[in-house]
Amino acid sequence: MKLYPAIDLLNKRCVRLYKGLYSQVTDYGDPVEMAMKWKSIGATFLHLVDLDGAKEGRSVNLDVVKDIIDKVGIDVELGGGIRTLDKIDEILSIGVKRVILGSAALKNPELVRKAIKKHGSERVVVGVDTKNFKVATNGWIESSDVDALDFAKSLEESGVKYIIFTDISKDGTLSGINVEQTKKLVDNTNINIIASGGVKTIDDLRDADSIGCEGIIIGKALYEGTIDLKKAIEEFK
């Protein structure tokens, strides 16, 4: 199982939100320095989210993302505000390994199909962010009536191979991942599921591994020191 340290970008800073609320922000400093720290410990792939972009519907922090790629030299995936094929092209051209489509994948399924046809399923990931197992959009501000499993199955038909599944009510809470909902996607699709939201201890990583997740995103647990990344990498490499 792969471990993906998370760096969330807001106003060009590395932050964490509580339950996706922009009103509850904790600042953890310079994103490039943080990326260097995670790489030095052994991380090989970072999960980046442009929080400004997610809210505004356009990429805002690409200069910071490019700095991380150029100065740190590590693979990254990026989500937040990516809405068009031209923007996907641009983001991949600066060295981002994988783009993460969120709201756009729900509102514009054809974009997913076109992006995969052009760039391949290894480079286009879909983030399925949910409240009560219903898909949320626009930086988690809006909720839909779309069932997460139904959405995942439609993505599978479009050629999607990777989904990042987040239970928003867990995100930033250090209360453990939603094992039941995550397992539902693992068991009922042939997609690689990356767990996200609520990770606190090494046991949460073991839970995700035991249900067959391809990977897991670790955010606040790293910043608050409840997970030792070095030990985690050693266990799951």
What amino acid positions are annotated as catalytic residues?
A: 8, 129
Token pair in block for residue 146: 């779309």
Q: How many CA atoms lie within 13 A of 101 on its CB side?
A: 31
